[in-house]
């Protein structure tokens, strides 16, 4: 079974802090994704990566950056956290072909105070 | 652009009731269609999929049929259980390989 592991289930950070969310997958998938999930808005794609050191903006990249130095690890970075970035963050991975199905981690609930 | 619309929740049913969660889509061409389920405290899991018109996806008693004429992919289950309580997401894979999700439907099953 594919395992996508997000390093934290819950995080509480202060406004202005730099925040790192880590995600690791163990199935040698080429594609990795970061989504945020908000009530009434569903899932929105922040960034994705289709190879090491490659990244592409999703639908809502503002205020975020990403890093993919190794194939199995994809990090989401909030350069200066703000309260409107309080959300559930979901990491996902998929094999190169067709980019589906997506395999998700259990999510990180981030609260910015 | 491509989009997915699913019925708003929450949907509350009694155990053993029949379930339908509506999903319609707008897309260029013939996208692949999916239902994902998110149980409390967990990430999303693929529930079922269909890749072409008239395909029926099925898993764990759930079914959905790809209807090209009505651009729909409604999720159904004949007899729901308390353990089916979750959030259900309809999604499509577009021609340019994007995965587009609906907003999710929360399902509560009462014992």
Distance in Å, alpha carbon of A70 to nearest chain B alpha carbon: 23
A53: left (phi over 0), alpha (psi -120 to 50) or beta: left
Q: What does the pLDDT look like over A65-105, one tens digit per residue?
A: 999 999 999 999 999 999 999 999 999 998 876 556 789 99
Query: Strand pairing partners for B22?
Result: none
The pLDDT value recorded for residue A105 is 94
Which residues from chain A sit within 8 angstroms of residue B98, using beta carbons? 45
Which residue is associated with the tokens 């094999």?
A95
The number of residues in chain B equals 111
Residues B9/B3, Cβ–Cβ less than 8 Å = no
Share of chain A above pLDDT 90, in %: 81
Tell me what the mean pLDDT of segment A53-72 comes to. Answer: 95
Which parts of chain B register pLDDT below 50? Answer: none
Cα torsion A89, A5, B34, B59 to 10°: value is -130
Q: What is the largest CA-CA distance in chain A?
A: 40
The pLDDT of residue A99 is 58
Residue B13 CA to residue B107 CA, distance in Å, equals: 8
Contact criterion met (CB below 8 Å) for B86 and B39: yes
Q: Is residue A41 within 8 Å of residue A100, measured between CB atoms?
A: no
- Name the B residues in 22-81 with CB < 8 Å from any A CB: 32, 34, 36, 41-46, 49
Q: Which of B43, B45, B95 to mutate to test the interface with A (most CBs of A within 10 A)?
A: B43
Q: What is the model's pLDDT at position A97?
A: 67
């Amino acid at each position: 079974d594919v395992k996508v592991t997000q390093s934290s289930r819950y995080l509480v950070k202060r406004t202005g802090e730099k925040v790192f969310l880590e995600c690791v997958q163990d199935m040698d998938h080429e594609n990795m994704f970061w989504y945020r999930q908000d009530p009434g808005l569903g899932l929105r794609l922040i960034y994705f990566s289709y190879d090491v050191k490659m990244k592409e903006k999703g639908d809502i990249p503002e205020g975020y950056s990403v890093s993919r130095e190794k194939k199995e690890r994809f990090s989401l970075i909030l350069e200066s956290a703000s309260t409107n970035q309080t959300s559930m963050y979901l990491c996902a991975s998929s094999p190169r072909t067709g980019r589906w199905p997506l395999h998700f981690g259990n999510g990180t609930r981030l609260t910015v105070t | 652009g491509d989009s997915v619309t699913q019925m708003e929740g929450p949907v509350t049913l009694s155990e053993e009731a029949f379930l339908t969660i509506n999903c319609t889509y707008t897309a260029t061409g013939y996208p692949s269609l999916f239902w994902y389920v998110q149980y409390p405290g967990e990430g999303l899991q693929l529930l079922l999929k269909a890749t072409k018109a008239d395909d029926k996806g099925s898993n764990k008693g759930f079914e959905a049929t790809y209807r090209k004429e009505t651009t729909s992919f409604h999720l159904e289950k004949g007899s729901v259980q308390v353990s089916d309580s979750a959030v259900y997401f309809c999604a499509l894979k577009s021609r340019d390989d994007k995965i587009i999700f609906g907003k999710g439907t929360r399902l509560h099953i009462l014992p």
